Chain A
Amino acid sequence: MNSGVFALWRWEALWEARQEFIDALFVTVEVSFFALILALFLGVVFGLFSSGNNKILKGIARVYVEFFQNTPLVLQVLFMYYGLLYAGVGLTKEQIGVIGLGVYTGAYISEVVRTGITSVSYGQTEAALSQGFTHLQAMRYIILPQSVKIALPPLVNQMVALIKNTSVLAMIAGGDLMYRSNAWASNGTLSYGPAYLTCGILFFCLCFPLTYFAKRYEQKLKNQANSSDKEVSAG
């Protein structure tokens, strides 16, 4: 038998096992999706906390962001996995993945939200308040619509990071794309070539449209800013 890394029979073996890869892709997408929802929720809440005026809430947000940004995701997930295991709490690995990735990415999104909000000048909030808007209304109608525009590209980049980080599940045998690809490759036929290539292509297909969009959108914002600068100086 041809022993080449990408020999045809290896591809046939992979095709036979395609359902495994499809299931694994589904796990990765599912975990990414729910983790993203959790991360967005936490990110917006803590982002509002840290851009508000309440010192205590600000402090809580700071601790959350600093702790989760400055320790490895791998550690957080393993900590939760083994901690819960020995404490006898039964969570599935997918649930652990959703919570771990959601809380970790939430810390990054919180910073994106904070930067988005603080980059809109405080004068606008004051102006809104002077017109009788409540603080929430000022946020909802004046500040957030502008912040979203600024925050969108980094937000999308965080989504990409989240999808790539689902590979952390491989470390707790989580049934995700990275884990299954590696497990399938190291058991049996040792067909690393097709397994890793397929895994890579699938990750690329999930992430590239997002990075491409973020890059384009950022460019568009930059061009808009440049042309409005010109208009101002021309006027």
Chain B
Amino acid sequence: MSATAGERGGDPHELGHDDTVPISERGPAPKRIVVAYGFWIFLLSDFILFSGFFAAYFVLSGATAGGPGGRDLFDLPLVATETIFLLLSSFACGMAGIATMARNKLWFQVAMGATGLLGAGFLALELSEFAQLISAGHGPQRSAFLSAFFALVGCHGLHVLLGLVWLTTMMAQVWAKGFRDDILRRITCFALFWHALDIIWVALFTSVYLLGTVR
């Protein structure tokens, strides 16, 4: 039996766990929450992986070996377009989550398709930036700064690519098997992954592109 709303007034989230069932007798949390928690731990470990690449980039950002620095190379309008693509992709992924809640297969496929196309657009822009840099002789072998830049941005791009592969398999799974419980858990994990990539991109465009242009 739960406390009434009036009694919970000072504790709207029930952080005090004011239930008659003691916490030791409630049993494990529902599987979907445990799975999302486990995947969140993985994502945090991924953030720590990225923090290593970020640290390497910050340390080496001045080591241009007489070559061009960030200010000479970065094309901010292109980066802004990439950012918009990824943000809208994240939003479309959220809409896929809503369609999942409504158990609507058509809207799920439409929203996931939009997510995938926007993600692919982001990846295409990033690859064109890389191709431009390499063809101008500013490839990763030019300086330690460029090595660290390609490693960091490329690692994020690789994550987006893997996310796209996962996205297509999720679309196929929902199409073939419907909204089964295990499929629902996979959709939740994919959404967490895709939104986490956007968080890393926020850190990336700020610290690499914007701060690199300011300095």
A, B bound: no
Mark B residues whose CB is within 8 Å of A: none
Mark A residues whose CB is within 8 Å of B: none
